[in-house]
Chain A
Amino acid sequence: MSDDEFMLYDSDEACGFSDDDEAALALEDDGGNSSGTARRSQAPQTQGEYSADVGLGYDDGDDYMDGGEFEPVLGARGQRKPWEVDFKVYGPAGLSAKQRAMVERLEPLLALPQETTTLLLRCYFWKEEPLLEGLLTDREGTLAKAGLTEHPPAPRIESGDDGFVCEICYCDGPDESFLALWCGHRFCSDCYRTYLAGKVQEGESWRIRCAAPKCRTLVGLEPARLLLADDADMLARYEENLTRSFVNDLATFAWCPAPNCEYAVECQVPRSAWATTIPTVQCQCGKAFCFGCKLDDHMPAPCSLVERWMQKCRDDSETSNWIKANTKECIKCKSTIEKNGGCNHMTCRECRHEFCWVCMGPWSEHGQSFYSCNRFDEDSSKNARDSVSKSRAMLERYLHYFTRYNNHEQSARLARKLLTATEKNMEQIQREHTLSWIEVQFLSGAVDVLSMCRATLKWSYVLGYYMVSDNQKIIFENNQSDLEMATEQLNELVENPISEDGPSIEEFKRIVIDKTTYVKTRWETILADIVAGLQENRWQFETE
């Protein structure tokens, strides 16, 4: 496998974001540097050996896009953790630059006008290889299929002649002005404008074709600019749609899912690798999300399990499990009955059917032997009881994992509250012990690590729920419990910081820092192990 199958970005760029740049970005589209390379900032900065060649073995055909503008940087490798993936964040200006760069790279190869090259790339979803292959084998056919021609004449709005009739509004004659693309279909400029505007409002951009039925000719940017010259809003919307489609069309790009965030993230981990590599990325706006499913960061559970879990939590299957485990149906009218006391002689409230709760048979067959059922051991009643207890066991298992999952989610929420409290604490300690700001940072550092661990623990229970019980799972659970224990201890420490009879501030600080470091080590251990296990196929997951 060659090095350039990976996208490794210049690490210097990662910090090339000064506050000024960021401010400029937020305010204007064309603020200079609007793309930055990033790696999740919450990841701890300890050094570790990492080799991209061994770690992530994608052998997917999807990697034709790297090259030229991305330089593989060997130096960056040492800093990357096994569970981290490379990604790049783009602002609006960065996206335009990226598009331009992709077009400019191909332009000399194709010997086509820039506009044609751009449209061709769009038609091929920016995949260079199939495009080049198509052009080399059948240049004319490829262009025609896309609705393009080699050298289209510059679009012009012309005056009509005697033979001109607009097929849309039937206006005619020399008084009208019209536009025709290279396909020759002429429509008056008013109709063309309305047609174009309608499509733009539907969210279309480059896919808009000539207004004649079945004509495949693409309208393209130049004619659109010409037609919408007097409608700046519509033109802006057209161009916005263009950018939008660039990100949507490229499999390696995704919009940040945060509300109102206009950044996009590029990540080269192909879809086929999402089962073994969790493509967690973080936007410039701070939002950490999974590039695969676009949900919030769910490290270390792979997307497929997260999807199953969410579905399970969402639907009523567990309610029905409970019903299954705790109730029985009246044989006669199918009403659901929960027995909350009393004897086994049941009378259905709905249909007055009398039956035995133990064997479910009609009470009349029980004669006068009250409170005991001598039909208990019959096969049919045995089976019924088995299925009830099995369903109860499954429910209990689910609840075991769900309680812990939910607990960590809530604790993570509390940790955010804790952060505010901690900030107050830090101020207090600063005042009381005349310490500098930097000297009390250990507390907020501890809370950061805490939140990080809570998130990981939360999703680790989803992993655990689906993991088949074997020796590997025991190792996983040991790691999990180590981290959990350490996390709880750290939480307790941070929650009750300084008391009169407690340790001195110096002692306390030392304890917290030690604990934080320990917790972080546990965190790194479990993440590294889970990710390695995913890639080695070490974990067995239950299939549905």
Chain B
Amino acid sequence: MLRFDQVSKRYPSGFEALNQVSFTLETGAMAFLTGHSGAGKSTLLKLVALIERATSGQIFVDGQNLARTHSWQIPYLRRKIGIIFQNHRLLFDRTVFDNVALPLVIAGHPHNEVGRRVRAALDKVGLLNKERLYPITLSGGEQQRVGIARAVVNKPGLLLADEPTGNLDPDLSREIMGLFDQFNQVGVTVLVASHDLELIRALDHPVITLEQGRLRQVRDSLAS
């Protein structure tokens, strides 16, 4: 599903965020991406969603070579990827339902299908009764779950999460990680960037560790 081949990223400022990173994430697998802040976790995720482009090396998402992906193709690539942000990036001027519906509206799904799928996604994250509320009235954990519902509503094959539990207490964090585990069990490929090692230890998944832009180790025999 996701393959990095000798990928480097140097920002225009000269900062080298990633250096010769190679790994493979098989379809249906789940892995954690860890390392200190500034190690390149966010940059790696940005490269996958083509928010940034790699300076050298090749990245394949679902067999698609990102280096050969034109900018007009980027929206269609992103529809295949669900992205979850640390600060969830919900739109506060619309309801929970409308936030979760946005990817479907963007992809042009018919109206009745949008309603059905939004409720299914909200049901999965346990927020079915809050669809009419505005995000501002929800707790931090609930807001993050709305963000997850928005990421999965389009049934993406690949789920990326950037520090999804960064602002949450340990109980809520476990709950959120449990959700990712559930999605993985129904076949979604999941890559979660997190520096919460305690949380990662509790779950039995491969761990990719970055250090100053280099791949330091891949624990638990990530097939490659």
Partners in one complex: no
